[in-house]
Structure 1
């Protein structure tokens, strides 16, 4: 149990100290007018208080991610705590902060636009396609489960539940951000926090002993920690999906100093939620073998239901139902909103993308494939989401790194986690069943080789940029 409390303390300390350092490196300026005030009348821009923005951001980036992913990651044992703490502070929170603050500095620009500015247009084209596909897959994945549960608990059929969810999705995607998202989501974000805190309290006072740290791999199927754990637990450590959501809130901020609370602080909160559910999974089922059996029989949703009802009684049952139905739906609708915003930026050079009619027309191309995927067995597609998600995170970290490097700032705070995640995605795609399914050792060698190539590129960028900055400084002094 000591490891659990120390982990929470480290996450809080990460916000207090490391967030302050990251903020200083970025260099905030509260005198700059934010996009929320620069774009009056635009449905995606509206000033919101920081606490509303934080709760909305938490709901957008979290959903069931830090619950389901943490339960699956808990199969590896208490070593999962290490990844959640280190990944959240030094990778995930930094990733979220820069994805939000760079969007803020570029008039609420979407993630692919930022990639194009700092990594080049060819990279922007590729990441635009990857990001929109990721959003559609996430939305589809977070529809089928809630629809099935609604059909089981009500007279509605599965198809009718799908239709109702999509009507809501369409409205949430096209209405001004302060209509539905700004009013309802802070409440739902509060429910997510209350659910996690309640589980943590019940777990601590249940008399069961939360496992302490061990570096052993306790996975029932003996799957390797590297790089599978880093893809299994994404929400709660680092997730590329967050970089697609941060621009939504960047367009509602009143001043730059709110970024530390909204982006960095919210990621730390998600890390604590993931930590709680990982601990619950390891403890409640009596170890990783028991957790593996529970996941095999009822899946993550069944495990959440068992834990919630057993620890919290009737209240837990209500919270479990709210979590399994509402949280994925609220993640799905903002995923579609993000994909619509990305599509608007992509097509803005060719078509007029402002106004209510344009909003509806831009929403249709992302809604139709989402409906199709939600009605078929798309398991083979969903398996690619984990790797795609971490690929998006890696590219965002490199984008932030190049911004800092070109600005003459301390780029290592993004460069080091970017290199780490590069090694993860380069190795995973060769080893994983949804990738090339190669043996482990060759996958490690190829992934390591590709990582070294990226490191060589990084070093070259450092050398070239330093020469450029020195030359510019020399010219400035001479003038």
Structure 2
């Protein structure tokens, strides 16, 4: 219990102190006119209060991610607490803050446009494809479950339920952000917080002891912590999906000082939610072996329902049903909205994208493959979400590092976690079954070698900008 409460306290302190430090490195200026006013179009660019932005951002980036991912990550034992706290404060929240604030500074630019500006056109082309694939996979993976549950609880077929959900997706993607998302999503975000708080309180007052932190790997299948834990628990620690969502809220900010509360704050909140569910999963089932059995029997949704109904009674069961249906749907629709925004930026070079018919057409382009993928097995999809997600996060951290380096600011706050995440994704793709499925030792050697190469490139960029600064100073002196 001490470790659990201490971890929550560390996350709060991280927001108060490290979040403030990151804000100072970025250097905010409330005299700047934000894109919400400068480019107001009453569709995507609409001023909203910071608390609405925070709750919508939380719902957009979270969904079932910090619940399902934390439940799966709890199989490694209390070591998951360490990753959630350290990853969230020093990597995830930094990632989210810069993805939102850099978008805001560049007139609401989407993530691939930021990558292109700071990492080059080839990186932009690559990440355009990766981002679209990631959001389609996320939307598909988070849609099949709710559709199945609706079909089970009503007389509707699975396909009809899926059609209804996707009809809503298209509407949410093309309507002004303050029409649906701005009005009802803050309430859904509050439901996510309420459920996590209720589970945390019930857990603290139950007779089940919450395990304390240990670095020991307790995974029943003896899977290695590195790099699997860092991919399994993404939402709640660091997730690349977030940088595709942050520009949605960056286009609604009233002033720059709201950024820490919206972006850094939402990520810290998500970390607390992940901590709650990781603790509940490893405590409720009396250890990781019991949790593995529960996951094999009912999947993550079954685990969430069991914990909620047992700890909170009938109210918990209702909350669990609401969570399993509403939260993934609200993540899926904003994923498609982001896809639409990215595709509009790409196609704007060739076509005038102002008409609503064209926006609707672009929304259908991204909705169609998502619908098709939603009809296949959820677990198969989720395997490919993990690595794609963390590759996206790694690119965002490198983009932030280059932004800071170019502006002669403390680039290490993004550069160090970028090197770390490079090691994660490079090792994972060689070891994981959905990757090359190589021997673990060989995967570690290859992953470490590739990380050294990327780190070498980083050092070369530091020298490049340092020399450029010295030459500029010498020119001015002369």
* Alignment TM class, shorter chain as reference: over 0.9
Secondary structure at the aligned position of 1:383 is classed as helix
Mapped pair 1:16 → 2:28: no
Is 2:144–2:378's contact at 8 Å kept on the other side of the alignment? no
Is 2:64–2:324's contact at 8 Å kept on the other side of the alignment? yes
Question: 1:206 matched to which residue of 2?
Answer: 206
The within-5 A match list for 1:289-300 is 289-300=289-300
Question: 1:343 matched to which residue of 2?
Answer: 343
**C-alpha separation between the residues in 1 aligned to 2:335 and 2:41?**
23
The within-5 A match list for 1:404-423 is 404-423=404-423
In the TM superposition, what is the alpha-carbon distance from 1:471 to its structure 2 partner? 1.6
In the TM superposition, what is the alpha-carbon distance from 1:376 to its structure 2 partner? 3.2
**C-alpha separation between the residues in 2 aligned to 1:24 and 1:475?**
30
Is 2:91–2:417's contact at 8 Å kept on the other side of the alignment? yes
- Taking structure 2 as the reference length, the TM-score comes to 0.99
Question: 1:69 matched to which residue of 2?
Answer: 69
Question: What are the Cα deviations for residues 327-371 of structure 1, in whole angstroms up to 9, with x where unaligned?
Answer: 000000000000000001111111112231221111111011111
C-alpha RMSD of matched pairs (Å)? 0.9
In the TM superposition, what is the alpha-carbon distance from 1:207 to its structure 2 partner? 2.1
**C-alpha separation between the residues in 1 aligned to 2:375 and 2:269?**
34
Question: What are the Cα deviations for residues 371-430 of structure 1, in whole angstroms up to 9, with x where unaligned?
Answer: 111123475444211001000000000000000001100000000000000000000000
**C-alpha separation between the residues in 2 aligned to 1:395 and 1:157?**
40
Question: 1:114 matched to which residue of 2?
Answer: 114
The within-5 A match list for 1:180-259 is 180-259=180-259
**C-alpha separation between the residues in 2 aligned to 1:20 and 1:447?**
33
Secondary structure at the aligned position of 1:226 is classed as helix
Is 2:92–2:238's contact at 8 Å kept on the other side of the alignment? yes
**C-alpha separation between the residues in 2 aligned to 1:185 and 1:457?**
42
The alignment covers a number of residue pairs equal to 478
The within-5 A match list for 1:2-401 is 2-377=2-377, 379-401=379-401
**C-alpha separation between the residues in 1 aligned to 2:332 and 2:354?**
23
C-alpha change, 1:130 and 1:468, in structure 2 (3 Å) is same
Is 2:143–2:329's contact at 8 Å kept on the other side of the alignment? yes
**C-alpha separation between the residues in 2 aligned to 1:357 and 1:474?**
55
In the TM superposition, what is the alpha-carbon distance from 1:42 to its structure 2 partner? 4.4
Question: What are the Cα deviations for residues 178-224 of structure 1, in whole angstroms up to 9, with x where unaligned?
Answer: 00000000000000000000000000011211001111100000100
Secondary structure at the aligned position of 2:226 is classed as coil
**C-alpha separation between the residues in 2 aligned to 1:470 and 1:331?**
47
**C-alpha separation between the residues in 2 aligned to 1:375 and 1:230?**
28
Gaps of 5+ in 1: none
Secondary structure at the aligned position of 2:12 is classed as helix
**C-alpha separation between the residues in 2 aligned to 1:373 and 1:347?**
24
C-alpha change, 1:49 and 1:426, in structure 2 (3 Å) is same
- Taking structure 1 as the reference length, the TM-score comes to 0.99
**C-alpha separation between the residues in 1 aligned to 2:56 and 2:13?**
23
**C-alpha separation between the residues in 1 aligned to 2:442 and 2:208?**
42
**C-alpha separation between the residues in 2 aligned to 1:72 and 1:436?**
22
In the TM superposition, what is the alpha-carbon distance from 1:117 to its structure 2 partner? 0.2
Question: What are the Cα deviations for residues 150-200 of structure 1, in whole angstroms up to 9, with x where unaligned?
Answer: 011111111111111011101000000000000000000000000000000
C-alpha change, 1:315 and 1:380, in structure 2 (3 Å) is closer
Is 2:87–2:238's contact at 8 Å kept on the other side of the alignment? yes
Question: What are the Cα deviations for residues 268-325 of structure 1, in whole angstroms up to 9, with x where unaligned?
Answer: 0000000000000011000111111100100000000000000000110110000000
**C-alpha separation between the residues in 1 aligned to 2:446 and 2:104?**
38
**C-alpha separation between the residues in 2 aligned to 1:476 and 1:257?**
34
